[in-house]
Structure 1
Amino acid sequence: MTSSSAGSAPHSASSAGSSADRGPLRRLTARVREEEHRVASPLELFFDLCFVVAIAQAGVQLVHAVAADHAGEGILNYAMVFFAIWWAWMNFTWFASAYDNDDVLYRVVTLVQIAGVLVLAAGVSQAFEDHDFLVVWIGYVIMRVAMAAQWLRAARAAGGAERTMALRYAVGVLLCQIGWLGLLVLPEPARPWVFLVMVPAEMYVPVYAERAHATTWHPHHIAERYGLFTIIVLGETIAAATVAVKSGVEENDALGELLPIAAGGLLTVFSAWWIYFVVPIHGRLSSTRQGFLWGYGHYVIFASAAAIGAGLEVAVEQAVGKAHISTLAASAAVTLPTALYLLAVWALHARYFKVGIAQQAVLPTTALAVIACTFLGDWAVLAAGIVAALAVATGVTLTARMVAGEERAGAVPR
């Protein structure tokens, strides 16, 4: 997205309303799905950047847990915290695509949600280290109550089935917050079960609400929003890995040991970006069912993309002797989330644009090859990066050959 589009007005003429409806407070009515020139607003971009702060905190704690040889516990805590961040982000994103009117109250409530994720970020370390979820819970409640307020406002302006849908969203969101109290009042061994019960409950709320009426989210806008967040998460991955390499070089004079990790990590992230954006996915988001599957599946994409950065930090700490784990474990911290990312991107949208077995097999085969790189010792991360880059080159070559073949076939007289 260009800078000009980021600063453009968030509404087209078809959805801005009448001149009497353009004051500081406006009715929160649904936007038009066919609206032209629908792009992410500056508020949405700011929202994303603030949410990445919480993702960065979750990544830092994952690094500490894995480096201390507590990978199982760290991954569980990471999955729980990341769900809270991602779910709040996703709910806002789809709501904004359908109802963003950019008035004063909408902006203020959105800023409250941003404040909530910053509170959540402040409690991440306590959740990981002491299993104390109080601050995380408070931050999550702030975000979700603010989201319920937006839905109640939409219900007030709507009627019929749309009003029913908005009320279902609001009530469902608020009821789920009661369930999350289990993280505070139940014994520690029971808390993972709270997570396993409440995640499906949260994810069922949109499914139930939209049985009454489908929100008018904009496919191109949704695809752009997810793409922008993917870019920001990958950028955070590069930033975290760069800081780790810099510290390792300055504190341990280990440039030779860290160069393969740095090069492999850079190739991996570059390839992750290329693979995600190689196809225009918005054309496939033509129904609510497709939207649900695609949107929910991005939990794996976002979580694994952020975990790649954490894995690179673990690999650096192991290389300089700070991590109490084996080279194999440190390599797996990079290769496993990379493979998961590749498979998730393939499953969610890349496979729909592949023609023939050769194209379809590129990403799944690459994921398996990346996992195999885990056993290459000190060269595992570099090898994984090279494999990912080769997957990009292979995909580009196969596509070019297919296009050339189609052009030759079209040039043959019939």
Structure 2
Amino acid sequence: MQDVMSQSTTIFTAWYRPMLARQAGEEHRAASALELFFDLCFVVAVAQASSAFEHELVSGRPGRGLLGYALVFFAIWWAWMNFTWFASAYDTDDVPYRLLTLVQIIGALVMAAGASAALEHGDFAVITWGYVVMRLAMVSQWVRAACTDRERRRSALRYAVGILVLQVAWLVRLAGPVDGGTVTFAVLAVLELAVPVWAERAEGTAWHPQHIAERYGLFTLIVLGESVMAAGLAVGAALETHQRLGAVLPVALGGLLTVFALWWMYFAQDAPRRLRTQRTAMSWGYGHYVVFAAAAAVGAALAVNVAHVTGDRALTDVQAAAVYTVPVALFVTCVWLLHRRAAQVSAAGNVLPPAAAVVVLSLTFAPFSVLGTGVVASLLIAGSVVIARREEEESGS
């Protein structure tokens, strides 16, 4: 009888474990296989949002497409970000944790299914339901944490209550007038952003700087890869129909140079050094909305410019160029701002990124804007490498 009880206890322990906070200074803290799977599923939603954004741009509706893309991407980014920070603080990896993560993945796929309707028709019903499914799963996770982590119970309960109340508000919003949709979305989005600020003012959660930096870096890498894939499909379609190959190749080359430079710039930073306090962590997390959204928009913009040079004239030359130059400039500027205080660079190195962003924006009114952007981005990386090498030599002498 005692052996049976011992075996039952072992099985239960493997199935369910107390959700206790992980150590913020834990060594060899790396992203788990479940987190990587979560990211890959989320990229489906990012790809759908980018594709719908591209469709709106090609159809000659840049204003409506931009607004819809910003709103849809907020839902995707915010749901991803909340899971990421929770998993950094609490990651029991037991059966309930995995099942609740699966529920969030299902919600992400529902969001992906509703991305086109949201951007093209302003219908946020499907994407809202997917978002609510994800967020209610997070409520369950925070309740688990509150039950077992007594030291941080108030923070966990604040997260659970704040998220739950807002999910009810999101569902109520669906019954409201369409004309007030953007206003109510903005209000609820601000309240969503306020929940972590309010919750962390209690005991705070024990997130891991290296783990957070790795998670954000991996998602940036995946989003940039999705941009390359979207651009590659557009270029491939143009090459198959033999449409103005001479015009397509500069766009393809400029896109490749740009994406490579954006990757280099992002991963040249020492992110864990930036994540020292709760305040800097908040600015880091929130600032990545622009980083992720801009990186995903680059792929859609490349596809739009390929269509533009092969004969699709729904946009003017300046509009097609702006669709590409603006997200690139935003990415460069935002990464620079996120790391500016933590990075130990000279005044010259600190001036390069904003100067490059200004030059990229000026290329909106120049011919071959995509290729020019790629060249400027490459020169930014080259200049940064030269300055860094010079500083190393000076410090070693």
| TM-score after normalising by structure 2 | 0.95
2:119 paired with 1:128: yes
State the shift of 1:407 in Å: 1.5
Aligned residue type for 1:195 = F
What is the SS of the residue equivalent to 2:292?
helix
2:372 paired with 1:383: yes
Cα deviation 1:335-380 (Å, max 9, x = unaligned): 1100000000000014531433211100000000111111122x11
Match of 1:116 in 2: 107
Q: Is the 8 A contact 1:252 1:320 kept in 2?
A: no
Matches within 5 A, 1:174-185: 174-185=164-175
54-63 vs 346-355, greater mean Cα deviation:
346-355
Structure 1: gaps spanning 5 or more residues: 1-18, 409-414
Match of 2:306 in 1: 316
Match of 1:274 in 2: 264
Matches within 5 A, 1:117-156: 117-156=108-147
Match of 1:42 in 2: 33
Match of 2:390 in 1: 401
Matches within 5 A, 1:191-340: 191-340=181-330
Cα deviation 1:264-318 (Å, max 9, x = unaligned): 0000000000000112110221111111111111000000010111110110111
Matches within 5 A, 1:349-360: 349-350=339-340, 352-360=342-350
**Whole-angstrom distance in 2 between the partners of 1:179 and 1:386:** 47
**Whole-angstrom distance in 1 between the partners of 2:318 and 2:172:** 37
Q: Equivalent of 1:187, from 169, 177, 184?
A: 177
Aligned residue type for 1:385 = G
Aligned residue type for 2:42 = F
351-360 vs 135-144, greater mean Cα deviation:
351-360
**Whole-angstrom distance in 2 between the partners of 1:332 and 1:124:** 23
**Whole-angstrom distance in 1 between the partners of 2:141 and 2:187:** 25
Cα deviation 1:184-229 (Å, max 9, x = unaligned): 1222221110121011100111111111111000000000000000
**Whole-angstrom distance in 1 between the partners of 2:267 and 2:124:** 36
Aligned residue type for 2:267 = F
384-393 vs 171-180, greater mean Cα deviation:
171-180
**Whole-angstrom distance in 2 between the partners of 1:295 and 1:355:** 23
Runs of 4+ in structure 1 over 3 Å off: 19-22
State the shift of 1:182 in Å: 5.0
Q: Is the 8 A contact 2:308 2:315 kept in 1?
A: yes
Cα deviation 1:54-79 (Å, max 9, x = unaligned): 00000011111112221111111101
What is the SS of the residue equivalent to 1:30?
coil
State the shift of 1:323 in Å: 4.3
What is the SS of the residue equivalent to 1:32?
coil
2:44 paired with 1:53: yes
2:103 paired with 1:103: no
Aligned residue type for 2:249 = L
What is the SS of the residue equivalent to 1:347?
helix
What is the SS of the residue equivalent to 2:366?
helix
Change beyond 3 A, Cα 1:261–1:347: same
Q: Equivalent of 1:347, from 324, 337, 360?
A: 337
| TM-score after normalising by structure 1 | 0.91
**Whole-angstrom distance in 1 between the partners of 2:15 and 2:55:** 47
Aligned residue type for 1:234 = L
**Whole-angstrom distance in 1 between the partners of 2:388 and 2:204:** 36
Aligned residue type for 1:142 = V
State the shift of 1:22 in Å: 4.8
Q: Is the 8 A contact 2:53 2:69 kept in 1?
A: yes
State the shift of 1:20 in Å: 9.3
Q: How many residues align?
A: 389
**Whole-angstrom distance in 1 between the partners of 2:28 and 2:13:** 19
**Whole-angstrom distance in 2 between the partners of 1:118 and 1:260:** 35
Q: Is the 8 A contact 1:152 1:166 kept in 2?
A: yes
What is the SS of the residue equivalent to 2:206?
coil
